[in-house]
Amino acid sequence: MQIPFISSRKPAAPQQEDFLFGLSDGFPIALGYIPVSFAFGLLAVKGGLPVWVATLISLTNLTSAGQFAGTNLILAGASLVEITFTTLIINLRYLLMSLSLSQKLAPGLTLKERSLMAFGITDETFAVASVERAEISFPYMLGLITGPYLGWGTGTLLGGLVCTLLPASLQNALGITLYAMFIALVVPPAKKSRAISLIVAVAVGLSSALAWLPGLRFLSEGWRITIATILACLFGAACFPRKEVD
**Based on CB atoms, which residue is closest to other proteins, 12 or 168?**
168
Least separation, in Å, of the C-beta of 12 and other proteins? 26
Task: Please tell me whether residue 189 binds other proteins under the rule CB under 8 A.
Answer: yes
Q: Which of residues 126-145 bind other proteins (CB under 8 A)?
A: 126-128, 130-131
Write the CA distances from 244 to 1, 234, 241, integer angstroms: 10, 18, 9
Options 2, 47, 179, 220; binder of other proteins; rule CB under 8 A: 179
**Based on CB atoms, which residue is closest to other proteins, 150 or 195?**
195
Helices (DSSP H) in the chain: which residue ranges? 14-46, 51-61, 65-75, 80-91, 93-102, 111-119, 123-132, 138-162, 168-175, 177-192, 194-212, 221-239
Look at residues 48, 43, 49 and name the one whose alpha carbon lies nearest to residue 163: 43
Cα 141–chain centre separation = 12
Options 15, 16, 102, 220; binder of other proteins; rule CB under 8 A: 102
Options 3, 6, 12, 99; binder of other proteins; rule CB under 8 A: 99
Residue 96 phi/psi, 5-degree rounding, is -65, -40
Q: Which of residues 56-75 bind other proteins (CB under 8 A)?
A: 56-57, 60-63, 66-67, 70, 73-74
Q: Which of residues 30-59 bind other proteins (CB under 8 A)?
A: 31-32, 49, 53, 56-57
Least separation, in Å, of the C-beta of 38 and other proteins? 15
Q: Please state, in angstroms and rounded to a whole number, the distance separating the CA atoms of residues 132 and 189.
A: 10
Residue 193 phi/psi, 5-degree rounding, is -130, 125
Task: Please tell me whether residue 245 binds other proteins under the rule CB under 8 A.
Answer: no
10 secondary structure, DSSP code = S
Number of amino acids touching other proteins (CB under 8 A): 103
Task: Please tell me whether residue 228 binds other proteins under the rule CB under 8 A.
Answer: yes
**Based on CB atoms, which residue is closest to other proteins, 63 or 154?**
63
166 secondary structure, DSSP code = P
Least separation, in Å, of the C-beta of 10 and other proteins? 20
Dihedral, CA of residue 47, residue 48, residue 49 and residue 51, to nearest 10 = 90
Q: Which of residues 190-219 bind other proteins (CB under 8 A)?
A: 190-191, 195-196, 199-204, 206-208, 211-212
What is the rounded radius of gyration, in angstroms, for the C-alpha atoms of the chain?
19
